[in-house]
Amino acid sequence: MRILHFYKDYFPDSTGGIEEVIRQICVGTGRIGATSEVLTLTTSDQLAPIAFEGHTIYRVHRDLNIASTGIALAAFGELKRRAAQADIVHYHFPWPFMDLAHFAAGINKPTVVTYHSDIVRQKMLLRLYTPLKRRFLQSVDTIVATSPNYLATSTVLERYRDKTRTITYGLDKSIYPSADAALLAKWRAVVGEKFFLFVGVLRYYKGLHILLDAVADLDYPVVIVGAGPSEVELKAHAVRLGLTHVLFLGFLDDIDKVALLTLCYAMVFPSHLRSEAFGISLLEGAMYGKPLISSEIGTGTSYINVHDETGLVVPPSDAPALRQAMVTLWNNPQQAQVMGLRAFERYNTLFTAERMASNYMALYRELMARHADQARL
């Protein structure tokens, strides 16, 4: 079975939550019989195919980037060529150019869309895009929501509930590197024995300004891993607040990120807008057995983190509530340890890459059988 994934960003050019999910789907389904390809955009002039962890990456040069929407005219023909050789075309939403490419390429293969997020911020452009979006989502065979929480709260998915099902994200810890004792000791010397950790791209919806406000009256060490468009603004805010106990580490390689996930006391994930549809790094915290703090925004974050079970869930944009949650965990290490164990148990039950891959393979087979039946009619 040949699967073609299509999304605007992917390794090695870009590392983010959706990229990691596509990677985990490709690796996981590859172990149980699928052959995966990823078609993506790049700003590089090196367009040769890339072999990556058992699947192949094809790239076309990005011509424009408007409102976070990559555009590449060469993608029309390349999508058509790659889809002709595939059994399933797997789209990753949102990416408005993808909708247009789907129709321009005349795709007639079984299609699935993983619906990663509503479009939240670009309200004016969304009005222009809505007719194309609705036509695209109506045309595909199946839409996948990434958590029951998101399916229940998305007004977009409500229109397509008859063709939407839920397959949650999953992670495979075995493909993460292992941090040895020397690396752990190195980072322990930098960050100390007890600290809160945030990992992610520094974007507007991550709520890190709320986290900084929350720790203004505390002296708990906070380590922030990641880079992104909000980095300069956040660092300036930390300086204004005099936060000498907040450490911005920038982008780190996976091995260093694993070391910090291993060492941290708890994960704090203050995303306050629905643009945060799931929270891969929050799930990584659960995978490493850490207690979690997140906000209730009606998305997958509260499917990963169950209040008073795997951690604490607070109202969004509420710095005092976030501060109190951090105080509660900091002052109750036994409770924090129990929550971390429960977080790992929940990951192991619901969020493994093996479970995700099995669910996607079942869906792929169902779509192929359905199209075969339709072709016989």
Contacts of 161 by beta carbon, 8 Å cutoff, 6+ apart: 151
pLDDT bracket for residue 1 (50, 70, 90)? very high
Q: How many CB atoms lie within 10 A of CB 308?
A: 10
Q: Which of 255, 184, 194, 260 is nearest to 221 (CA)?
A: 194
**So what's the pLDDT on residue 373?**
81
- CATH of span 2-172+353-376: 3.40.50.2000
306-320 confidence digits (pLDDT tens): 999 999 999 999 999
Higher-pLDDT residue of 46, 182: 182
Calpha distance 326→218 (Å, rounded)? 9
**So what's the pLDDT on residue 374?**
80
pLDDT bracket for residue 88 (50, 70, 90)? very high
Tell whether the model's pLDDT for residue 131 goes beyond 70: yes
**So what's the pLDDT on residue 28?**
95
Average pLDDT (159-182) is 95
- Is 2-172+353-376's fold the same as 178-350's? yes
Helix, strand counts (H, E) of the chain: 15, 16
171-192 confidence digits (pLDDT tens): 999 989 999 999 999 999 999 9
- CATH of span 178-350: 3.40.50.2000
Contacts of 213 by beta carbon, 8 Å cutoff, 6+ apart: 241, 319
Angstrom distances, CA of residue 78 to CA of 84, 88, 188: 10, 15, 48
Consecutive H or E run containing 158 = helix 155-158
- Residue pair 277/146 in contact (Cβ under 8 Å)? The answer is yes
**So what's the pLDDT on residue 123?**
66
Lowest average pLDDT, out of 64-73, 183-192, 347-356, goes to 64-73
Tell whether the model's pLDDT for residue 80 goes beyond 90: yes
Cross-strand pairs, 197: 223, 267
Opening angle at CA 180, ends 174 and 184, nearest 5:
115
- Residue pair 322/293 in contact (Cβ under 8 Å)? The answer is yes
201-253 confidence digits (pLDDT tens): 999 999 999 999 999 989 999 999 999 999 999 999 999 999 999 999 999 99
Structure tokens at 307: 């209040």
CA dihedral 330, 334, 336, 337 (to 10 degrees): 130
Boundaries of every domain in the chain: 2-172+353-376, 178-350
Contacts of 159 by beta carbon, 8 Å cutoff, 6+ apart: 134, 137
pTM metric for this prediction? 0.89
What count of Cα atoms within 13 Å lies in the side-chain half-sphere of residue 150? 31
Calpha distance 345→358 (Å, rounded)? 19
Cross-strand pairs, 42: 61
Average pLDDT value for the chain: 95
